C-alpha cells in the first residue's frame, strides 16, 4: 500500500515508519510526505531518506476547502492509498475525508476519548490520571474521536513532567502506528460501526489491546 504521510513538526512517527520499512517489517512505500509547515524537522528526515515531499501551507489558500483540495489532489496524484496523520496539527473536514473514506488514520497521545485535542499529555497530568497512553484511530469529522484501531497504555508517574510523560508515550506511538499500518496493509481490519477488530490478533493482554505482533 502506498502511504501518504501528513506532518507538521518533528516527524519522529514518520521516522518510526521509515525504520519499519527499512527493517522489512512494513512492505509499504512512502509515496508522499506533506508538511503544512516550512522548516519542519520532518522535512529534514525526508531529505535524508530521499522521500518525495511537499510543503502545502494553509496560509497560501483563502479557503480551507481549497487547501484541502490541494492536499487531496497531491496525495491522489502520488497514488496514495492510505493517509497517515503523524503529528499533523490540523483538523480535516469531511471534504478531505470523503476523498479517502476509511483510509485516513491518526496517532493521538492519549487513550481516546479521554484528553482529546492539544497537549493531551499535559491534560492527563493536570487531571491526575494514573494511566494514559496513545491511540491510533480512523479519522472522522470529530476531533481525535474516530473508531479506535489500537491503543497502548502508559502509567503516569508521580515525578512525571509533561516532557517525561510525552517521551514515555512516544515510545509506544512508535510501535502502534507502524503496527496498524501493517494490519491495514494486510487487509486484517474488520470495522463494525465504531468497533474495529484485527483478524487473527490476540486480545485481552495488557498493556496492548490487541497484542502487537511485530513491534
Which residues of the shown chain bind ligand GRF in the complex (CB under 6 A)? 9-13, 86-87, 107-109, 170, 173
Strand partners, 29: 2
Catalytic residues: 108
Q: Residue 78 CB, nearest distance to ligand GRF (Å)?
A: 20
133-168: burial string, b at 16+ Cβ within 10 Å, e else: bbbbbbbbeeebbbbbbbbbbbebeeebeeeebbeb
How far is it, in rounded angstroms, from Cα 189 to Cα 211?
14
Look at residues 211, 91, 215 and name the one whose alpha carbon lies nearest to residue 146. 91
Report in angstroms how near the CB of residue 108 gets to ligand GRF at its nearest: 5
Cβ-based nearer residue to ligand GRF, 13 or 151? 13
Distance of closest approach, residue 177 Cβ to ligand GRF, in angstroms: 8
| Nearest CB to ligand GRF, comparing residues 11 and 146 | 11
**Closest residue to bound ligand GRF by CB:** 87
**Identity of the residue, 144 or 192, whose beta carbon is nearer to ligand GRF in the bound complex:** 144
Query: How far apart are alpha carbons 31 and 51 in whole angstroms?
Result: 8
Closest residue by Cα to residue 133 from 147, 123, 143:
123
CB closer to ligand GRF out of 80 and 177: 177
Neighbouring C-beta atoms of residue 64, cutoff 10 Å? 15
> How many Å apart are CA 14 and CA 172, to the nearest integer?
14
Amino acid at each position: 500500500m502506498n502511504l501518504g504521510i501528513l506532518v507538521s513538526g518533528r516527524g519522529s512517527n514518520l521516522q518510526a515508519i521509515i525504520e519499519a520499512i527499512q527493517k522489512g517489517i512494513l512492505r509499504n512505500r512512502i509515496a508522499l510526505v506533506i508538511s503544512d509547515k516550512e522548516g519542519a524537522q520532518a522535512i529534514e528526515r525526508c531529505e535524508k531518506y530521499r522521500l518525495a515531499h511537499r510543503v502545502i501551507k494553509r496560509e497560501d489558500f483563502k479557503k480551507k476547502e481549497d487547501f484541502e483540495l490541494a492536499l487531496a489532489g497531491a496525495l491522489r496524484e502520488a497514488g496514495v492509498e492510505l493517509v497517515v496523520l503523524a503529528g499533523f496539527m490540523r483538523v480535516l473536514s469531511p471534504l478531505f475525508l470523503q476523498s479517502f473514506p476509511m483510509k485516513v488514520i491518526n496517532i493521538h497521545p492519549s487513550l481516546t476519548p479521554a484528553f482529546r485535542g492539544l497537549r493531551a499529555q499535559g491534560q492527563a497530568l493536570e487531571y491526575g490520571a494514573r494511566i494514559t497512553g496513545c491511540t491510533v484511530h480512523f479519522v472522522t469529522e470529530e476531533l481525535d474521536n474516530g473508531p479506535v484501531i489500537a491503543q497502548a497504555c502508559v502509567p503516569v508517574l508521580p515525578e512525571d513532567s509533561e516532557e517525561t510523560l510525552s517521551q514515555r508515550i512516544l515510545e509506544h506511538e512508535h510501535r502502534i502506528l507502524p503496527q496498524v499500518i501493517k494490519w491495514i496493509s494486510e487487509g486484517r481490519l474488520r470495522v463494525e460501526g465504531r468497533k474495529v477488530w484485527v483478524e487473527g490478533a490476540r486480545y485481552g493482554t495488557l498493556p496492548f489491546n490487541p497484542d502487537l505482533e511485530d513491534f
